[in-house]
């Protein structure tokens, strides 16, 4: 096409760019007196009725996408046998142009990523998958706002590939593993993987996988572990490792469920006020669980109760609060209004807050290539030969464990300088809930689960009694779901949707047995138990439906007692150590299924990994008498779980 040519009503001014399946021209639209960009597709396919119908269908779909971060389509049609799309002209170039200068700073990356993520989530909600994200498809206006372009073009390319006999269409440097492998319907998580590749590029100025041929490039997405971003750029926050690992997980079930979750984590690294800390510990693509722990179960015997001298007791029984009396409850979105992603998991007024993860840059994009059938056959052969390599790559025993049957995010033993509260907040953004919390002198340990359905959570930490904060959250409609004491502080986890009903709190230096037995007769169950600062803390709930409960306190291991009650159909639902004794609460109707017990002085991670591989969930973790005690259950159905440790809960003294 020559310059200054009339194309329909549009006056072609110059060629802007040329790709594998289309050319883009700058043109003038005299009807509206504005500049536009015209994407012209090859004319040789228009005679085919299948392509003709698909072109019009995809063009209408693209034109219906109305979002302030998607390049709008003004018009489409055919001119002298050539199909075309008319779009807004974006004068400030593409992300590919910016990446020619190398890595980008995090404060620059975050707003770009947020706009792209919002646009992707919107298009996914409309049933449109981009399929060919890359820096050259990310354009900027004169105000430096980022826009996504070329929605639906990849699906048209598939039609053209079918007609020409080419096997696949796409840009090998940015294709998700499931695009490479084929055989399954794509969904929005494919675009999230590609967004992770682009994020890696923005953070480092490099591509994550380098290869000499397109086939090698494709196989790298399937077989090669995600590289460590900090090896490319040491000044990045360490959380960037975890973010990239999850965004680019080989198994799409292990990726962020929405692009907005990914963008929120990035933004929180740049803006501490968003409530996520820059010292969240690293996560990596998870390997399979290693061999079982050395000592997995049985320990000693039951004991009588032994108690410290009495000090003071505080008991709180909040009055029932009707729905109309909820104070400062988070606003309920109007019908049809989407919830903001970061609001759903934002922490609720903890004493100290922290922040989360990341940043990354991006090099020039690889040119779009279409592969011949013979190259694709070769790629398939490499894929088959690589299956053994994949298995080997995912079995490194040093990398941690995962949940049975699921990819999972890698559990870690933690960086001594890391802040546990930061890690928890980062995982909240990814849909996990705190289900166990414990303290060993020198480090905190947490288990988080993505299938318990507790809703929004928040944490509170204080060296004083947490009663006032507990009452405040009860008035908000939140419930205590986890309680721990360590490093001179009480830590309370509140959940919005746990469904535990009205709760009671007791803190006493004496045995809580009498208090517990009294409240049992009133229809309450023990749901949280901890010992700290010389006192036992108990939370009891009215609607937990745990059935009949038993209580035991013994200076020896509770193993024998637990096993005896297992035989009677009871499950361990609370476990704590204090004043030289183990306290156990067992419940008749918890429906947790068969349970196992482990107590060992070493890290419980290997035991957890072994149990996850056997489809068991960690339901209780405690530390006492120089050992970790772990209860796993066969029918908890708490989803994927994570274990993480860190030296401090907050950065504050």
pLDDT digit string, tens, across residues 546-568: 999 999 998 888 988 998 999 89
Residue 328: closest CA among 454, 458, 477, 468: 477
* CA 493 – CA 479 distance, rounded (Å): 8
Q: What is the DSSP letter of 407?
A: -
User: Does the pLDDT of residue 114 top 50, yes or no?
Assistant: yes
Residue with tokens 């007196």: 33
DSSP 48-98: SHHHHHHHHHHHHHHHH---TTBPPEEEEEEETTEEEEEEE--TT-BHHHH
Asked whether residue 227 is domain-assigned, the answer is yes
Strands of 549-554's sheet, edge to edge? 549-554, 581-587, 571-578
Active-site residue list: 132
* CA 138 – CA 122 distance, rounded (Å): 16
Q: Which pair of structure tokens corresponds to residue 328?
A: 């400062």
User: Does the pLDDT of residue 422 top 80, yes or no?
Assistant: yes
pLDDT band of residue 268 (cuts 50, 70, 90) is confident
User: Does the pLDDT of residue 498 top 50, yes or no?
Assistant: yes
Whether 106 and 195 share a structural domain: yes
Whether 75 and 224 share a structural domain: no
User: Does the pLDDT of residue 349 top 80, yes or no?
Assistant: no
Lowest-confidence region among 159-168, 273-282, 529-538, 539-548 = 273-282
* CA 40 – CA 42 distance, rounded (Å): 7
Domain that holds residue 236: 102-128+170-274+361-393
Question: What is the pLDDT at residue 322?
Answer: 35
Which CATH number is 29's domain given?
Answer: 3.30.200.20
Asked whether residue 39 is domain-assigned, the answer is yes
Mean pLDDT, residues 439-457 taken together: 91
Do residues 321 and 475 lie in contact, with contact meaning Cβ atoms separated by under 8 Å? yes
DSSP-assigned beta bridge partners for residue 587:
549, 571
Residue 193: closest CA among 149, 239, 257: 257
Tell me the pLDDT tens digit for each residue of 170-229: 688 999 999 898 878 889 999 999 999 999 999 999 999 988 888 898 999 999 999 999
Residue 250: closest CA among 286, 295, 202, 214: 286
Q: Taking the CB of residue 225, how many other CB atoms lie within 10 A of it?
A: 18
User: Does the pLDDT of residue 503 top 90, yes or no?
Assistant: yes
* CA 171 – CA 173 distance, rounded (Å): 6
Question: What is the pLDDT at residue 21?
Answer: 66
Residue 290: closest CA among 393, 380, 180, 396: 396
Whether 526 and 388 share a structural domain: no
Report the percentage of the chain scoring pLDDT > 90.
43
Do residues 269 and 237 lie in contact, with contact meaning Cβ atoms separated by under 8 Å? yes
Whether 74 and 196 share a structural domain: no
Mean pLDDT, residues 50-65 taken together: 75
pLDDT band of residue 340 (cuts 50, 70, 90) is very low
* CA 357 – CA 422 distance, rounded (Å): 9
Whether 432 and 565 share a structural domain: yes
Q: What is the DSSP letter of 342?
A: H
Whether 481 and 366 share a structural domain: no
The continuous run of DSSP H or E covering 365 comes out as none
Residues 6+ apart with CB under 8 A from 146: 69, 95, 111, 112, 115, 116, 138, 139, 140
Phi, psi for 298 (deg, rounded to 5): -60, 135
Question: What is the pLDDT at residue 62?
Answer: 78
Question: What is the pLDDT at residue 196?
Answer: 96
DSSP-assigned beta bridge partners for residue 599:
629
How many separate domains does the chain show?
3
Whether 502 and 538 share a structural domain: yes
Phi, psi for 611 (deg, rounded to 5): -70, -35
Residues 6+ apart with CB under 8 A from 362: 95, 99, 104, 135, 198, 199, 200, 201, 202, 203, 204, 205
Q: Please state, in angstroms and as integers, the Cα–Cα distance from residue 38 to each residue in 9, 25, 282, 415, 484, following that order.
A: 12, 5, 45, 52, 62
Whether 118 and 82 share a structural domain: no
pLDDT band of residue 159 (cuts 50, 70, 90) is very low
User: Does the pLDDT of residue 402 top 90, yes or no?
Assistant: no
Mean pLDDT, residues 607-631 taken together: 91
Do residues 486 and 439 lie in contact, with contact meaning Cβ atoms separated by under 8 Å? yes
Whether 176 and 30 share a structural domain: no
Asked whether residue 617 is domain-assigned, the answer is yes
What HEC string does 270-334 produce?
A: HCHHHCCCCCCCCCCCCCCCCCCCCCCCCCCCCCCCCCCCCCCEEEECCCCCCHHHCCCCCCCCC
Which CATH number is 198's domain given?
Answer: 1.10.510.10
Which one is predicted more confidently, 283 or 383?
Answer: 383
DSSP-assigned beta bridge partners for residue 33:
none
The continuous run of DSSP H or E covering 641 comes out as strand 641-646
Whether 387 and 349 share a structural domain: no
Mean pLDDT, residues 522-533 taken together: 93
Question: What is the pLDDT at residue 248?
Answer: 95
Do residues 13 and 31 lie in contact, with contact meaning Cβ atoms separated by under 8 Å? no
Among 88, 115, 150, the domain-final residue is: 88
* CA 120 – CA 138 distance, rounded (Å): 12
């Amino acid at each position: 096409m020559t310059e200054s040519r009339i194309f329909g009503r549009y006056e072609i001014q110059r060629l802007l760019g040329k790709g594998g399946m289309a050319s883009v021209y700058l043109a003038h639209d005299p009807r509206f007196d504005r500049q536009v960009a015209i994407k012209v597709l090859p004319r040789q396919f228009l005679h085919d009725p299948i392509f003709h119908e698909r072109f019009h269908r995809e063009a209408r779909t693209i034109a219906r996408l109305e979002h302030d971060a998607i390049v709008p389509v003004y018009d489409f049609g055919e001119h002298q046998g050539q199909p075309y799309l008319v779009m807004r002209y974006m004068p400030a170039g593409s992300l590919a142009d910016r990446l020619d200068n190398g890595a980008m700073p995090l404060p620059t990356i975050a707003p770009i990523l947020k706009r792209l993520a919002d646009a992707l989530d919107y298009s996914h909600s409309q049933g449109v998958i981009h399929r060919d994200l890359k820096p050259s498809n990310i354009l900027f206006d004169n105000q430096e706002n980022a826009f996504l372009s070329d929605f639906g073009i990849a699906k048209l390319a598939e039609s053209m590939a079918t007609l020409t006999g080419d096997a696949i269409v796409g840009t090998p440097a940015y294709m998700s593993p499931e695009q490479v492998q084929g055989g399954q319907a794509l969904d929005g998580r494919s675009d999230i993987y590609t967004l992770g590749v682009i994020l890696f590029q923005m953070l480092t100025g490099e591509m994550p996988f380098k290869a000499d041929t397109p086939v090698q490039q494709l196989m790298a997405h399937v077989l090669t572990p995600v590289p460590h971003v900090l090896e490319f750029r040491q000044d990045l926050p360490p959380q960037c490792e975890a973010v990239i690992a999850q965004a680019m997980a080989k198994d799409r079930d292990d990726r962020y469920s929405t692009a907005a979750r990914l963008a929120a984590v990035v933004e929180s690294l740049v803006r501490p006020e968003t409530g996520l800390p820059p010292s969240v510990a690293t996560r990596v693509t998870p390997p399979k669980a290693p061999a079982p722990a050395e000592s997995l179960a049985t320990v000693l015997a039951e004991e009588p109760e032994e108690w410290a001298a009495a000090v003071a007791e505080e008991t709180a029984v909040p009055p029932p609060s009707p729905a109309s009396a909820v104070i400062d409850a988070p606003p309920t979105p109007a019908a049809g209004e989407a919830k903001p992603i970061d609001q759903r998991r934002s922490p609720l007024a903890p004493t100290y807050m922290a922040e989360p993860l990341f940043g990354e840059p991006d090099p020039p994009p690889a040119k779009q290539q279409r592969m011949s059938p013979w190259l694709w056959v070769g790629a398939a052969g490499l894929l088959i030969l690589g299956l053994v390599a994949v298995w080997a790559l995912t079995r490194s025993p040093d990398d941690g464990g995962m949940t049975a049957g699921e990819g999972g995010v890698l559990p870690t033993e933690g960086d001594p300088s890391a802040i546990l509260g930061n890690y928890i907040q980062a995982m909240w953004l990814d849909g996990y809930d705190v289900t166990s919390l414990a303290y060993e002198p020198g480090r905190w340990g947490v288990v988080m689960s993505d299938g318990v359905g507790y809703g929004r959570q928040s944490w509170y930490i204080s060296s004083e009694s947490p009663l006032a904060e507990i009452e405040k959250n009860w008035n908000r409609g939140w419930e205590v779901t986890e309680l721990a004491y360590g490093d001179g502080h009480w830590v309370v986890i509140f959940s919005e949707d746990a469904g535990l009903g009205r709760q009671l709190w007791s803190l006493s230096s004496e045995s809580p047995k009498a208090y517990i037995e009294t409240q049992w007769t009133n229809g309450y169950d023990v749901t949280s138990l901890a010992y700290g600062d010389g006192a036992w803390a108990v939370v009891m709930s009215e609607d937990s439906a745990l059935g009949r409960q038993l209580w035991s306190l013994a200076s020896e291991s509770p193993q024998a007692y637990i096993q005896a009650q297992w035989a009677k159909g009871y499950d361990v639902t609370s476990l704590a150590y204090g004043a030289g004794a183990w306290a156990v609460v067992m419940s008749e109707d918890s429906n947790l299924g068969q349970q196992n017990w482990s107590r060992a002085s070493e890290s419980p991670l290997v035991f957890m990994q072994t149990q996850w591989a056997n489809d068991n969930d960690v339901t209780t973790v405690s530390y006492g008498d120089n050992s970790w005690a772990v209860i796993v259950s066969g029918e908890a159905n708490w989803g994927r779980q994570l274990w993480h440790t860190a030296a401090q809960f907050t950065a504050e003294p």
